[in-house]
Amino acid sequence: MPLSISLNLFAWIDWSVQATISWILSNTFGSKNVSIVAEEDVQTLSEPESAGLLGKVASTVNECLAEASRYGLKGPDKSLGPSEILEAISCCNSNGGPLGRHWVLDPVDGTLGFVRGDQYAVALAFIDNGEVVVGVLGCPNYHMKRDRHNKQQQNHISSEVSLPSPDMLEEGCVMYTRKGTGEAWVQPLVYGDRKYEWPNFAKQVHVSPIDDPALATFCEPVERANSNHSYAAGLASSVGLRNKPLRVYSMVKYAAIAQGDAEIFMKFARAGYKEKIWDHAAGVLIVQEAGGVVTDAGGRSLDFSKGIYLESLDRGIVVCSGIKLHEKLIGAVYASWESSSL
């Protein structure tokens, strides 16, 4: 089956997740008090020929809300109908900006990863007057370490997901943090009748202590369309990175650095591509609170106050487990940029 057809067949997942989270946020905090910046709109789903697709989305949302009610979240009094589903999705129409409070949602970050049974994430962040203050990443195929100090081979984040090693909990994980705490946490996801509750199954995550480029592992996006692999490879070579890069779908790259499975994530978009805030907000905060460093390629903090895009981004994004690696990479960017062809 062609990949484009596969992506269309799985598009209902994005709408379903967005509608579910939108409904929960609106009913928890009040619809008038909630501003949501999210990826999906209802244009296609509202068309008459999409009635079957809308019905599938409604069924999935109602199933998710019924499941959520088992764990303390109040669900609707009766099943949501198609119009209520469309309303939940369409109210995620905020553009964010420097003032006010905004939730930022990527319902399925890494659609290709989801389609291929690989890495993907559900990403939710909360922005208060332009600053990310809460970050949550749900990573169903990325496994929490039993012993976070034991760095294994990264078979649980590689682009071909295999069975996790014995030091992994096999339920996937959710990572979360709040700005200024200096703490980021991970716990297994909930599956079936098993319920894992903080703090019994939650562990604090920390970035890796490795600061020798020869020992460091670096991640980059799988897709070549919006990331210059050749420039990143040249940069890696110039600072002495020897390990083969891990090409990983979605914000799982941020989770890997926060949990100490990798030390570096670099992304240098090709000309004309604009980074969206929902692709980075939650992951950036989690890495920072876990002890890592995140800037653009000019060494400046990422600015989430400009709307849906990282408008003032300088060349690319550099994420490191520590300041020494970060300084080497930023220096290498400045040394090589004049000869690059981005």
Known binding-site residues for Mg(2+) equal 39, 106, 109, 279
Sign of CA dihedral 70, 74, 79, 83: negative
Rounded-to-integer distance, Cα 41 and Cα 46, Å = 9
Token readout for 204 is 């604090």
Q: Give the whole-angstrom CA distance, residue 92 versus residue 36.
A: 5
Distance of CA 144 to the CA centre of its chain: 16
Find the DSSP H helices in 10-81: 11-29, 51-68
Active site residue ranges: 14, 111
CA distance 288 to 125: 14
Sign of the torsion angle spanned by Cα atoms 288, 248, 275, 224: positive
- The dihedrals phi and psi of 38, each to the nearest 5 degrees, come to -145, 165
Q: Residues annotated in the binding site, as ranges?
A: 39, 106, 109, 279
Q: What is the rounded distance in angstroms from the CA atom of residue 137 to the CA atom of residue 115?
A: 19
Query: Phi and psi at residue 84, in whole multiples of 5°?
Result: -70, -35
Report the alpha-carbon distance of residue 48 to residue 164 in Å, rounded: 44
Distance separating alpha carbons of residues 177 and 258, to the nearest angstrom: 11
Euclidean distance between CA atoms 36 and 9, whole angstroms: 25
